[in-house]
């Protein structure tokens, strides 16, 4: 894992200058504390911050320039330095690719995956991306053509932002680095409303009007003839082309086992996260096969309602791992809340980012790489909304009673703060969404708070056609796929990339910890989506296929317990030790300047401090995140 930044001079009469690259790299130093490098040639400037994982020697220094190498003499031959790369990520099948290249007579001067990737580009051009099994954001300069090539991995594990401004093309791993390069700082009001609706901003948009996120599976070529954006990977097409297997569960077991195996390749200490849920337990069980001295890590709370560590400890004991549990109180969360706010380079308010931030911080003291269970919910159907959709399509007596009780659920207190009010919240959401269209239901369930509240907070107004257009883009997969796979594809394109994976990158790279996601191995994803949705669901529950494929590895309690989200006791934090942050969001002049409606904010805060705050703590958290970011970067 690393951080990259750079620029390309679009005006040929103006030479490239690296006057701002040092400031940009300082902004992302946390992503790569081990090394720094800058390259300038032609119109291009490339910068890199390195977190050393594979080949930790100076041979893996970036920017990496490809030079013919004489293995007999142990030194480069000639001065042909046509291609130079900055690379953030990992190529997990690099050893296999390297062996094939060596069999063809090619030599290497390092043992890094970056050199393998760059040589493949030199040999095959942009199509080399199809050979890579991994996650990455990269930029390659062709010195001979004076062209710049950028690409992002298939599922968007690694971020890459870009913009064109003042005759330059700018790119970076994080928005703060892009701003240091000179990107304009104008808020996009539609993105602002999207943020307060979903608590993240779906690609290709960002909070700033002129800054774009490169979508997963896309690439950009920048040259004298202009900028060319292309899609290099289509997951749906790849899934349709995947051959069936005679034994579905066995084949999935083999694929995921190999995905874990290649993700354990590392020249630094490595472990796994273990929450006690199905996904991380499967990854830990498979990792234990290949790494007998496996270290596992979990986080819990002194508040037993939110604490799941007993389940993690059951799995750790069952597997025989070297397990570490981090137990937190509200004072620990409050202490780390400020650090999380400082790490957020674009407004992002998924509440689970706080425990993720702390878990990554504490885990980094033990290992430098960790495997996680991220991606399983989107690929195999693990969210409550997936189960709700099944119940809407085939309602039983319980579902009919839930609809009859709609007026009661509406009147009862609803929040995530305890089991009873959370059940009322779920019943109310089911009753409110069951009679909507599939698209309307998905959008409401993908929103954290009442949609009208989000529209009222932002000055753009509730009927903005651009907002409606972006929302239709989110639901497009629902119409393209007739079964529940449409719901999963919608999650893959938006929730996974722009919420879950952004959270993973944000909270791990804040502490220079690399997190790897075996469930997002391309072979696993393509095989899973080659199957009908009914293969993943059984009697109204998701992840049926995972239980069938890996059940023998885990204790029964792990297979049968209900899924819990990575939740946090946010209300007592914001009403207690962090209340000063809430109070700092009351200045009407500042709110209006930031694009918000002061009266709507007053109503939100009054609701939050009332006897029945509902889920308002989530929107209050989003308000704090946005205003903290706005004051740090736009004032």
> So which residues are the catalytic ones?
2
Q: In what order do the strands lie in the sheet with 295-301?
A: 322-328, 295-301, 270-273, 369-371, 514-516
Helices 419-433 and 384-393: angle between axes, nearest 10 degrees:
40
Under DSSP, is residue 344 helix (H, G, I), strand (E, B) or coil?
A: coil
Q: The tokens of 181 are what?
A: 């390069």
Q: Among candidates 202, 152, 214, which has minimal Cα distance to 178?
A: 214
> Which strands, in side-by-side order, build the sheet including 44-50?
35-41, 44-50, 2-9, 168-172, 161-165, 212-213
Bridging pattern class, strands 147-152 and 218-223:
antiparallel
What CA–CA distance (Å, rounded) separates 618 from 198?
10
Strand 83-91 and strand 134-142: the pairing is antiparallel
User: Is 169 in contact with 162 (CB distance < 8 Å)?
Assistant: yes
629 HSE (CA, 13 A, CB side): 24
Taking Cα atoms as reference points, which of 44, 47, 75 lies closest to residue 59?
Answer: 75
Residue 555's region, left for phi above 0, alpha for psi from -120 to 50, else beta, is: beta
Q: Which of 369, 363, 358, 287 is nearest to 321 (CA)?
A: 287
Contact call for residues 125 and 103 (beta carbons, < 8 A): no
Closest to 498 measured CA to CA, from 198, 273, 235? 198
How far is Cα 53 from Cα 600, in angstroms, rounded to an integer? 48
CB count in 10 Å sphere of residue 247:
10
Order of strands across the sheet that contains 134-142: 64-65, 83-91, 134-142, 147-152, 218-223, 226-231
Query: In 304-457, which ranges are E strands?
Result: 322-328, 369-371
Burial class of residue 368 in the structure, from the number of CB atoms within 10 Å of its CB (0-12 exposed, 13-18 middle, 19+ buried) = buried
Hey, what are 126's tokens?
């942009």
Q: Which residues, including other chains, have CB under 8 Å from residue 567's CB and lie 6 or more apart?
A: 306, 351, 352, 355, 416
Query: CA gyration radius for the chain?
Result: 24
Distance CA 440, CA 346 (A): 27
Residues paired with residue 139 on neighbouring β-strands, in sequence order: 86, 150
Q: Which residues pair with 37 in a beta bridge?
A: 48
Decide: helix, strand or coil at residue 613. Answer: coil
Query: Which of 625, 343, 349, 347 is closest to 508 using CA atoms?
Result: 343
The span from the CA of 339 to the CA of 510, in Å, is 9
CB–CB of 606/613 below 8 Å? no
């Amino acid at each position: 894992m690393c951080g990259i930044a750079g620029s390309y001079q679009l005006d040929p009469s103006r030479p490239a200058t690296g006057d701002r690259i040092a400031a940009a790299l300082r902004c992302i130093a946390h992503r790569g504390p081990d090394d720094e490098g800058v390259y300038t040639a032609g119109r291009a400037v490339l910068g890199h911050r390195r977190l050393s994982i594979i080949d930790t020697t100076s041979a893996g220094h970036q920017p990496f320039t490809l030079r013919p190498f004489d293995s007999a003499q142990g030194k480069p031959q000639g001065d042909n330095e046509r291609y130079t790369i900055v690379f953030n990520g990992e190529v997990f099948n690099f050893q296999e690719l390297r062996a094939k290249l060596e069999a063809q007579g090619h030599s290497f001067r390092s043992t890094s995956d970056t050199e393998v990737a760059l040589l493949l580009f030199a040999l095959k051009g942009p199509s080399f991306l199809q050979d890579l099994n991994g996650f990455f954001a990269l930029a390659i300069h062709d010195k001979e053509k004076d062209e710049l090539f950028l690409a992002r991995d298939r599922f968007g594990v690694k971020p890459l932002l870009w913009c064109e401004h003042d005759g330059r093309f700018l790119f970076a791993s994080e928005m703060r680095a892009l701003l240091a390069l000179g990107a304009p700082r104008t808020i996009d009001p539609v993105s602002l409303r999207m943020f307060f609706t979903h608590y993240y901003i779906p690609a290709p948009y960002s909070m700033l009007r002129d800054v774009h996120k490169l979508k997963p599976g896309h690439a950009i070529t920048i040259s004298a003839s202009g900028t060319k954006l292309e899609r290099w990977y289509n997951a749906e097409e790849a899934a349709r082309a995947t051959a069936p297997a005679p034994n579905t569960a066995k084949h999935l077991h083999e694929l995921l086992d190999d995905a874990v195996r290649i993700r354990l390749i590392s020249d630094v200490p490595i472990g796994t996260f273990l929450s006690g849920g199905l996904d991380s337990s499967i990854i830990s069980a498979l990792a234990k096969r290949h790494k007998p001295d496996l270290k596992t890590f979990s986080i819990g709370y002194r508040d037993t309602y939110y604490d799941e560590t007993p389940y993690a400890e059951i799995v750790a004991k069952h597997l025989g791992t070297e397990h570490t549990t981090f137990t937190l109180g509200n004072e620990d969360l409050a202490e780390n809340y400020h650090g999380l706010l400082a790490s957020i380079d674009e407004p992002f308010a998924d509440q689970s980012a706080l425990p993720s931030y702390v878990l990554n911080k504490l885990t980094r003291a033990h290992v430098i790489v960790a495997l996680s269970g991220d991606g399983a919910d989107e690929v195999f159907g693990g969210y409550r909304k997936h189960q709700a959709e099944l119940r809407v399509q085939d309602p039983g007596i319980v579902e009919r009673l839930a609809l009859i009780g709609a007026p009661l659920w509406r009147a009862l207190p609803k929040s995530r703060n305890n089991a009873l009010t959370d059940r009322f919240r779920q019943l109310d959401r089911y009753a409110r969404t069951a009679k909507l269209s599939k698209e309307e239901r998905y959008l409401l369930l993908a929103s954290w708070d009442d949609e009208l509240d989000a529209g009222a907070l932002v000055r753009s107004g509730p009927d903005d056609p651009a907002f409606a257009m972006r929302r239709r883009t989110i639901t497009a997969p629902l119409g393209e796929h007739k079964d529940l796979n449409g719901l999963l594809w919608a999650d893959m394109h938006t929730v996974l990339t722009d919420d879950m994976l952004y959270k993973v990158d944000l909270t791990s790279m804040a502490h220079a910890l690399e997190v790897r996601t075996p469930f997002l191995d391309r072979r696993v994803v393509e095989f899973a989506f080659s199957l009908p949705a009914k293969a993943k669901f059984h009697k109204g529950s998701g992840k049926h296929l995972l239980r069938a494929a890996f059940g023998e590895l885990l204790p029964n309690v792990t297979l049968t317990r209900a899924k819990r989200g990575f939740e946090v006791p946010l209300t007592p934090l914001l009403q207690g030790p962090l209340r000063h942050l809430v109070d700092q969001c009351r200045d009407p002049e500042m709110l209006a300047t930031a694009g918000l409606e002061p009266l709507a904010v007053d109503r939100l805060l009054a609701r939050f401090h009332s006897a029945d705050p509902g889920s308002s703590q989530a929107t209050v958290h989003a308000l704090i995140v946005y205003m903290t970011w706005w004051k740090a970067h736009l004032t």
